[in-house]
Structures are given as C-alpha cells and as structure tokens.
Structure 1
Amino acid sequence: MNDILLILDYHSKYTEDIAEKLRLEGIACRILPGDALPSEIQAISPLGIILAGGTGADFPLSIDGRLLHTGIPILALGNTTASVCLLLNGEIKDTTMLKKVENVSFLASVLTEQLRTSQRMLHAINTLELSNELKPIAKWKDEIIGFKHQELNLFALGFQIESNDPDGNHILMRFAIDICGCSKWWSESAHIGLMRSHIEKTVGDGTAICAITGGLDSGVSAVLAHKVLGDRLRCIFVDTGLLREGEVEFVLKHYRDKENLSITLINAQDEFLDALSGIINAEEKQQTILNTMRRVLSEALEGVEYDAVIRGITCDEVLRYGMVDAIVPTEGKTVIAPLKELFKSEVRYVAEKLGMSKEVTNAQSFPGTGLALRLYGEVTKERLNLLRKADKIFSDAIYESDLAKKLFKFFACLFPMLGTKNDEYLVSFRAITTADTREGASLVLPARIPFDLIEECANKLTAECPQIARVNYDLTCIRIEVD
C-alpha cells in the first residue's frame, strides 16, 4: 500500500477543500474523477478513499458498488452518503431542504471519537433507513444522516467539511491517521522531490520542450524541470500582442536572466491580430487564440527533436476540463505535468520552495487569452494599446498604494461607446475580493478601494488618452452557487 489517500471527485469545490486541508496537515492525497474504475483505484493502492460529494439533494449514481468491497477504508462525505446507503441495501426515507446551520449529534465510533455534537451547515438532508449491516453514527434531530458498516472499514456522513471547521478537520484526521494509518510526510518540498525524480526517470538523457505562457503554472513547471534537465529543457515563449504592458520583458528578465532557462521568444503579434480580425464573440476569440497558439508553436517546432513535453496544467483544470490537448505537439512524446495533482492555490507555495522571487510568486494571475476578453468588440492594435495603458495606470496605483496583497484581482476593461461621432471608449476599472458563504455559495465582491485612487487613475488616463471619454468603477457583486 502507498502512504496516500485517494479522493474521488463528485464535487470540485469540496474535493479541493478536502485535499488542501489534508495537505496542510502533511497527509498526501491524489484525486481521481468519481467514475474512475476500481482497477485504476487498486493500481494506486491507497491507504484510504474519500468520496467527496456535494451538499445538494441529488446524489451521484456513478459510484461503482465494487469499490466498497476492495478492503480499502472509505469515508463518504456529503451526498455520496445517500449513494453508499443505497448500494448497501439501505433506503432514503425523505429529503429535506434546509440551507441553514443545525446541530448534528454523533454516536460512538472510531471516526467520531471525542465528538458529541457539532453545528453544521446543512443544505439538503437525505434521511436514511439503514440495512442490518449498517450502524448509525450521526443524527440530525432523530433522523439518521451518517453511518458505519458493521464489518467493513466504511464510514459515511451526510454533510461536508467547511472552510473554518475544527470538527470537520478532526474527522478527516481520525480517518486519515487512526483508521487508514497515514503518516504526515507530505509537503511542497516533498512534492518537488517526487517530481524531480519522476522527470529524471522519464526523460532520462533525452530533451524536453515547455511552452511558457507568462503565468505561474507554466513558469513553475519549467523551473522545476530545468533543475533536473538543465540545458536539455528548451522553453518557448510566444508574444501574442495580447499581453500586459511590460509582460514580455518581465517574463524574460525572470525566467531567462534569473532562472537561466533557455527561452526562444517568438513574435507572433501580427498572426494573432490577423486571426482575431472581425471576431466579436468571446468564445470565438478564445478558440481562435488557442488555435493560433497551437499553429504558431507547431510551426516553430517543425523539425525540432525532443522526447518529452512539460505541461503547466493544474488539478483545477484537470477536474474541470480533463487532460485536454497541449498547445505543443505531443504525438509520440512523453507528457509530464508536474503540477497536475496540485491546485492553483498551492502552486505559489511550490514556487516559493523553488526559490522563485516574490515579484513572480505574488504577481496576479492573468488569463491565457490575455487582454482579448477584457476588450469588448473587435480586437485591434489601437484598442489593445488603450486597454494596455488603462490596465497599467490602474495596476501601478494599486501596487503603489500597497493594496495588491488584499485583492484577488484588479484590472481594466475597454468598451466601445456606440453612437459617438468619433471612436470613443469607456474604461471600467475592476478590483475584487472573494469569499465563501456557509450557504454554499462563492462571492465575487467589489473591493472598497479609496475614491481618490480611482479619481486619480481616471484623470491620468483621460489626459493621456483623449479617446477615453468615460471611466467608471465596476461595483457588481457576483454570487456563484456551488450546487
């Protein structure tokens, strides 16, 4: 058995929360889709399995019943509890929609030891009728919402682990350490060591290619691979013309001059502008940029010999989209993704352990589409220059005011103004923070930055760019439901 827990994903938000909590405690974990085959799971040979479900009334029907009889300890959380109950000959008595905090009482078990009651955010409750092989371990009022198997090392709780949740953390640690026998060996440094060994073993004496986008994910992957391969790693950076002001120089300064990566810079600004000509729809822009990037890289690598491709894909992307095709040609090549087990929120810590500068690790994320989707309407050189100027003025003011570390993102958007005599534009500044609610939603909130800062940015922008006729600050609050 490998000293690792396996999380089967039935709800990406809670899967990420559980994985991060385990790793913070030093428990190693891997993530697979919920429909992974029992043979895939047994090949990993984990010490335990967590079924990470959601909190809604509907429950997953894709759980393979054979999984429950592999002899591997299992903890079902959230609505996967109802699924497991049915697979073990139980029944669902009723479903109650709550979306409020309620008391849950615990019965004695190795999983719930030292817990008597806990306040839990209960969204929807599937009350259970247990078969003879199951024994209750958690109740809401007098209704059963959690159970253990009389013979198998199997537990289920009909609620999820929350963000600030000592009782939930206690349950996770009881399962990981006391039931599964995991040890606390995982850390960012340990992950780096494993990936270095994997790269060394996989590439051997061969060579590898890595496309650097300017983002942290591809940069960290390249730096990690470079520490193993040295000059046998060749990096390619494409200047799309859609990057922020000074972005190309920033990337080369850090990765080429400081990290000593071998980087080939390709100026493809004209190719991307030509490809985007006349396109207004955001989805069409996104697909056009992806297709153009693949074509540019394919042409650049024609006739180049390499054995492996280093990808900067993270677990967030794998869970959301699967292992989509890389932007670099991979046919007949070995693909190595050093960060595919990590979430974007964890990549920064790996970067710090690699010794990368704070200037890079603290830089705000930037979409692969660059400025194209922050520019409404057709992408033209003139409009890009205006948006680039607006974005820099606003970003510089945020950094100079020492507000950047308090914000999730800050940027500018450009809107053509219809019905004006000349080509005039509106610029919208946007700075946001994020928060989770106990009701199960994520909030994107407008940051309360000083009015004087916004006014100063607006005055400077309109003075330097006469085409900007209006400037506003976006106060939209967005609520994203997780179920």
Structure 2
Amino acid sequence: MKKVLVLDFGGQYNLLVARRVRECGVYCEIRSWRESMEHIRAFQPDALIFTGGPATVFEPNAPMVDPALFSMGIPVLGICYGQQLMIHLLGGQCRRAETREYGKVELTHNGKSPLFKDIPATAVYWMSHGVEVETLAPGFEVVASTDGCRCAAIQCAEKQLYGVQFHPEVLHTQYGKELLQNFLYGICGFTAEWTMASYLEEAVAECRAKIGSGRVLLALSGGVDSSVAAALLQRAVGDQLTCIFVDHGLLRKDEGDQVEEVMTHQFHVDVRRVNAKDRFLSRLAGVTDPEAKRKIIGEEFIRVFEAEAKKIGAVDFLAQGTIYPDVVESGLGGESVVIKSHHNVGGLPDCVDFKDIVEPLRRLFKDEVRQLGIELGLPEQLVWRQPFPGPGLAIRVIGEITEEKLEILRDADAIFREEMALAGLDRTTSQYFAVLTSVRSVGVMGDERTYDYTLALRAVQSQDFMTATWSRLPYELLDKVSGRIVGEVKHINRIVYDITSKPPATVEWE
C-alpha cells in the first residue's frame, strides 16, 4: 500500500493535513521535522508533505531538513512554511511579505500545473503568512498568484516538487480537497487503497502476531474508542480478552446497560462490570472544584481497576483505546506544541504489572474509529455515541454532585439527545449535551411558585475540537426541547442555550 509521510513543522492545521490525506483514501503518518534521514528512509514513503509552521525560514534556529529529501525521487508538496523551506534549501530566497495575508484571499492559477487540474482559474483560498518567496530556486516556476503574493503556488514539475503558500487542508479553501486529490492521484499516481476493511484485516493480523497465546486486559469505559478496541481485539484473540468495565455511576441514561448488552451478548466479550457508584459518590461528596473532581475520579478509577485486575490473575498485555490525535496532542507523533497530556499515552500504568501494551487504534482518527466500528458490526447508536469526558457527568453537574442531581441531568440530557436525533442533527452537530448548573431561580408552574435549577444546553461545530463555534440550532427545536424538559423532568424550571465559541470558552463547562 502506498503511503505519505507528513513532516510536521508546528503549524496549527497540521493534524488536518493528515486527516485530509486519509480522507482521500491514502495512508499517511505525521512525524516531526527532526526525524532523521535514516528513519524517513525506513518508513519508505511514496510522497512527502511539508506542513506549515510559525517559524521564519531565514532566521537562526529555523526548522530545517536534510536537502537529500528532495533527491529521493518521490513527489513533495510544501504547504506555507513547507513551500518557503523548499525554496530556501534549493537555492531560492524568501523575504518578509510586503502584504501579509490572513484569511480568505482570491487566488488565480495559470492552468500550467497538474495541482490545479479541473479547478476553476479563480477561487478563494485560505492564507496565513507574513513571509513569502522572493526569488525562485532553479527549475521552479510560478503557477498561481494573489494580489498580494506573486508565488502563491509554484512547481518544479521535472523533479515533482510543488509548493503552495495557502492551506488546502482547511475547509475555508474552496478547492482544497480537489487540489490534494490532484497531488495524490494525478502527480503521485496513488489510488484510494486506505479503507477500514483493509485496516481491520491488517490490525487483526498485527494483534494476533503480537499477543500470541497471551491474555489481554482492557479498561472498557463505554465510550466509542474503548468499545471499538474491544470488538477488534475480540475478533483477533477471542476469549483471551477480558474487559473491566468500571461503572462509576456518572454515565448517561442507560449507557452502562447498553454497553454491557452489546459487548457480552453480541460480541461475546468477557466483561467484568464493577458497580462502583456508591464508592465514587462518597469520595465526591461536598467537592465543588472541577479539577478536584477530575483528580478524585481518576485516582479512584485506578484503585478500582487495580483491585479487579488482581482478581483476574496473570495478564500479559494491557489494551488501550489510544487514537492518533491522542498521540499527536501528547507531542509523540509530530512537532506541534503539546496540547494536553493523555492518560493513555506514553507507557504502562504503575498500578498493575503487564509485559506490554496493545493499542489497535493508535493510527486512527476519530472519524476512522467510527468507520471501523461499523465495519466490525457495532450498533450505530454506540458507534455514533456523542463524545463523553472521562469524568462523565461529574463535570456536567456544576458544583457539588449528588445522586438526585445526576438523575435530573440524565433525564434532561436524554431528551435533548433524542430530539436532536429526531431532527436529523445528531450526526451533523459535532457535540451536544446538557449541563445542570448550580443556579436556582424563581418560576411558576401550575399557578404555583417554584425555585428550581437552571439547565444549560450546549451544541458546537468543530473539526478538531481545538476551536469550536456554537451551533445555530433551529428555534423550533430549542423550543421543543425546552418544553419537554421542563414538562417531563422535575426540579428544572429554566433552560438557557450556550452561544459561546471556543475560545474564549471551552466545549465542556468544567
């Protein structure tokens, strides 16, 4: 199978580059620009993509690569900083742009490059640069320009070297997908070989080879990633897999029962469910600080998992639902700044002794994990389950957590999710959920005064959850949801809708 190596220079859109390549049916991986030539050659890429980045190519300590990369005889596409670096290393010059371009810019190509095959001569592209190419390297020519940037796209067709100053990977670029397809299919000669069917076959074979006759233990959270990992491992090694499902009492309505039903009856997985609700709620009693909640839940989860693992006996492998963004965001898969540390990235836990770790989803993006779940035969309602934080409803109940508050939130959240599905918005909205605030206010119901909780509804649109915009849900839908919740769920008399984007807010409230 043909594959692309994406060299990461620290730009904000770099994870999107890999996602767009995968969406074209071509396998790729992200590596840091610091990767040695030895490791790059060992990867045996069939094409290279250089991403954007915040550095200035002609300043000291700017990220550089071995110029031998351009002599590997494979196509190279440089994006933004990647284009500037290519020119800088091959004998051209860059300078600070006289006209810096940020956002949507109209670009015109001259029809001479296969990059722009079947793409209109003039369209809108997304720019983000204060540096530009001043003098082309030998053999290069300009193939597209904007009013403020003469070298908006360049090429040395003879050596299959191409550069664009704009960002084809973002949705704001009108024909970004078509341009990437032209590079991958037309210039590189690839076909759409990367499918979930092919990945499933490969992943099952890899797991069998690694695990052999060993026993595997997986912490099943009930989320999409761990559920898909469990189904895949069951197909690979059958009854050698045991799952520990720690039910901390902070799941959504009927969620624990649904997960257990699917895994035990449909996939015949050995699931050890631990009903630890009282234990967790006891530890959380009186706690209002969100970070304290997270810490308590994380620590308690480890303690419960450790106790159950010891009951099982000797286990050879710990399986985790680590996915590709976890790896990249933790600073292990590329060059981008560490966004957040992930508990399931970076090695074995200290609490239980295992020989090794198995991560069958480590190379997949979230949308690919969902596709794999469908390929494995998981029910759509589980595969398309809304993203859910590890601490569960504990960080969607603002302030102190009680069983009464959790029941109120479960019922309200279930109504919101049901109505979103009925409206056909459940798969087009990136994430949506309800939050039980600590605010109580006066209301009137049945001619009587009430003094009950305010519930907040949250829905956002996002590509990668690094940023998010609030969803413009139809007023009719919000009206129906509000009416049902107030009418069907006790102790809520006011509904508000969160219209804050990220930044300045985060997606979750706590």
The two structures share one fold, judged by TM-score above 0.5: yes
Q: Are 2:152 and 1:145 equivalent residues in the alignment?
A: yes
Deviations 1:25-59 (Å, cap 9, x if unpaired)? 322222334544433322211111112326x7867
CA distance in 2, matches of 1:116, 1:396: 42
Matches within 5 A, 1:333-372: 333-372=355-394
CA distance in 2, matches of 1:258, 1:435: 33
In structure 2, the gaps of 5 or more residues are 333-341, 443-449, 505-510
**Aligned AA (2:329):** R
How far apart are residue 284 of structure 1 and its match?
Answer: 3.2
Shifted more, 295-304 versus 423-432: the winner is 423-432
**Aligned AA (1:117):** A
CA distance in 1, matches of 2:402, 2:35: 45
| Structure 2 residue corresponding to 1:310, chosen from 310, 319, 336 | 319
Q: In structure 2, do the counterparts of structure 1 residues 234 and 107 end up closer, same or farther at CA, with 3 Å as the change threshold? A: same
SS, match of residue 310 in structure 2: coil
CA distance in 1, matches of 2:437, 2:79: 45
Indicate conservation of the 8 Å contact 2:104/2:172, yes or no. no
In structure 1, the gaps of 5 or more residues are none
Q: Are 2:445 and 1:445 equivalent residues in the alignment?
A: no
Matches within 5 A, 1:19-418: 19-53=18-52, 61-66=62-67, 68-69=69-70, 71=72, 72-95=74-97, 96-106=100-110, 108-112=112-116, 117-119=121-123, 120-124=125-129, 126-130=131-135, 132-133=137-138, 135-137=140-142, 138-141=144-147, 143-148=150-155, 152-161=159-168, 162-163=170-171, 167-302=175-310, 304-322=313-331, 324-326=342-344, 332-399=354-421, 403-417=425-439
How far apart are residue 430 of structure 1 and its match?
Answer: 1.4
Q: In structure 2, do the counterparts of structure 1 residues 169 and 409 end up closer, same or farther at CA, with 3 Å as the change threshold? A: closer
**Aligned AA (2:129):** A
How far apart are residue 357 of structure 1 and its match?
Answer: 1.5
Q: In structure 2, do the counterparts of structure 1 residues 451 and 415 end up closer, same or farther at CA, with 3 Å as the change threshold? A: same
How far apart are residue 279 of structure 1 and its match?
Answer: 3.4
Partner of 1:4: 3
Q: In structure 2, do the counterparts of structure 1 residues 186 and 354 end up closer, same or farther at CA, with 3 Å as the change threshold? A: same
Indicate conservation of the 8 Å contact 2:220/2:245, yes or no. yes
Q: In structure 2, do the counterparts of structure 1 residues 6 and 204 end up closer, same or farther at CA, with 3 Å as the change threshold? A: same
Q: In structure 2, do the counterparts of structure 1 residues 450 and 375 end up closer, same or farther at CA, with 3 Å as the change threshold? A: closer
TM-score w.r.t. the length of structure 1 is 0.85
Q: In structure 2, do the counterparts of structure 1 residues 271 and 310 end up closer, same or farther at CA, with 3 Å as the change threshold? A: same
How far apart are residue 94 of structure 1 and its match?
Answer: 2.5
Q: In structure 2, do the counterparts of structure 1 residues 385 and 111 end up closer, same or farther at CA, with 3 Å as the change threshold? A: closer
How far apart are residue 10 of structure 1 and its match?
Answer: 4.3
**Aligned AA (2:221):** T
Identity across the alignment (%): 25
CA distance in 1, matches of 2:108, 2:296: 51
CA distance in 1, matches of 2:68, 2:220: 40
Q: In structure 2, do the counterparts of structure 1 residues 176 and 337 end up closer, same or farther at CA, with 3 Å as the change threshold? A: same
How far apart are residue 18 of structure 1 and its match?
Answer: 3.4
How far apart are residue 377 of structure 1 and its match?
Answer: 1.3
CA distance in 1, matches of 2:161, 2:259: 50
Indicate conservation of the 8 Å contact 1:394/1:412, yes or no. yes
Q: In structure 2, do the counterparts of structure 1 residues 385 and 63 end up closer, same or farther at CA, with 3 Å as the change threshold? A: farther
Q: Matched residue pairs, number? A: 469
Shifted more, 243-252 versus 117-126: the winner is 117-126
Partner of 2:497: 474
Shifted more, 259-268 versus 321-330: the winner is 321-330
Q: In structure 2, do the counterparts of structure 1 residues 57 and 6 end up closer, same or farther at CA, with 3 Å as the change threshold? A: closer
SS, match of residue 288 in structure 2: coil
Indicate conservation of the 8 Å contact 1:416/1:424, yes or no. no
Deviations 1:145-191 (Å, cap 9, x if unpaired)? 33345875432211111437674334323332344343332111011
How far apart are residue 255 of structure 1 and its match?
Answer: 1.1
Shifted more, 319-328 versus 188-197: the winner is 319-328
SS, match of residue 210 in structure 1: strand
Deviations 1:109-158 (Å, cap 9, x if unpaired)? 45455668342232335321235435233332362233345875432211
How far apart are residue 366 of structure 1 and its match?
Answer: 1.7
Q: In structure 2, do the counterparts of structure 1 residues 47 and 306 end up closer, same or farther at CA, with 3 Å as the change threshold? A: same
SS, match of residue 367 in structure 1: coil
Partner of 1:427: 454
CA distance in 2, matches of 1:399, 1:152: 51
Deviations 1:403-437 (Å, cap 9, x if unpaired)? 534543332211223799xx96523241524267x
